[in-house]
Structure 1
Amino acid sequence: MTTDPTAPASRTRRHRARAAVAASGWLALAVTLLPAGFPLRWVPVLLFVCLGPGLALLHPQPRGLRPGARLEAFALAAPLSLALAALTATFLFLIGGFSVPAFLVPLAAFTTVAAFLPGLPLPAATRGAVAPADAGSFLSRERGPGGGR
């Protein structure tokens, strides 16, 4: 039985990526303690709110991601993150308790927990982003009468 010498390295890289995603929320929360006029205060918060929870849900795939699935996961991370942020902010506004720390703490806690669980399955991660063999290129298809677009 042969072993893959790159397996421990890829596992370590995956653990580091999970830890970075989990820590991103707490970093965003810590940055809010900087003075109000500090120009780079909003960058970590914006990146975390836009990508953190979504990457935590999608990134830790059991067998890694294929190249086509990496783009799919990154493209899907932003809408998922923004949806979770909108739900959190709406809930906090409805109970009258919205503040930046009250907004970031639940998102950071959710991201930390989700980062260490298996990721949501992605279609391209399991079967690859490959067209079936019998599906011809759309460029080689004959156009009907009138040409059409």
Structure 2
Amino acid sequence: MKKVDETRLRIIMAASGWVALTATVLPGGWPLRWIPALLFLFFGPGLAVLLPRPEGLREGARLEVWALAAPLSLSLGVLTATVLFLLEVFSATAFLVPLALITTVAAFLPGFPLPAALPGAAERVKRKHADVG
């Protein structure tokens, strides 16, 4: 059962960029156009890089993943936009395609190691606090 959930999560993350790209064909002011794109830009690439973890997440790692996903996604977006502006080829499509490709590739690779997600991380924190007090 766990393998099915991990596979489903990988597919959803990989598809998120392509859904955002597809939404750009809708008329300009529609929420169905900008909501998927913003959600993808804020969380898509970052979550794909940080998740999924085959062993799952430890208790403290969930907050760490969400706290790091948005800045990581925005950083990848800024780098992509900068390159496109320097090449003078920026457009919504040219911006979303590389991010969707990065997200798709990252979704099928193992997640980046996080300190709180490592085995024994919770026990090390408990021991550290016990040694201090």
Global fold match (TM > 0.5): yes
What stretches of structure 1 move > 6 A for 4+ residues in a row? Answer: none
Total equivalences in the alignment: 131
SS at match of 1:133: helix
Report the counterpart of residue 127 of structure 2 in structure 1. 133
**Matched letter for residue 49 of structure 1:** L
Q: Could you tell me whether the CA contact under 8 Å between 1:69 and 1:128 is conserved in 2?
A: no
Who is 1:6 aligned against? Answer: none
Unaligned runs of 5+ in 1: 1-8, 142-149
Question: Between the two proteins, what is the percent identity of the paired residues?
Answer: 59
TM-score, scaled relative to structure 1: 0.82
More helix per residue: 2
For the Cα contact (< 8 Å) 2:6–2:54, is it kept in 1? no
Q: Which residue pairs with 2:3 in the alignment? A: 11
Deviates most, 111-120 or 126-135: 126-135
Q: How far has the Cα of 1:81 moved from its partner?
A: 0.4
Q: Match for residue 58 of structure 1?
A: 50
Does the aligned pair in 1 maintain the 2:52–2:110 contact within 8 Å? yes
Q: 1:134 to 1:58 in 2, by over 3 A?
A: closer
CA RMSD of aligned residues (A): 1.7
Segments of structure 2 that go 5 or more residues without pairing to the other structure are none
The superposition leaves residues 63-100 of structure 1 with CA deviations (integer Å, 9 ceiling, x where unpaired) of 11112101111111111100000000000000100000
Alignment equivalent of 2:28, drawn from 29, 32, 36: 36
Aligned match for 1:92, one of 74, 84, 91? 84
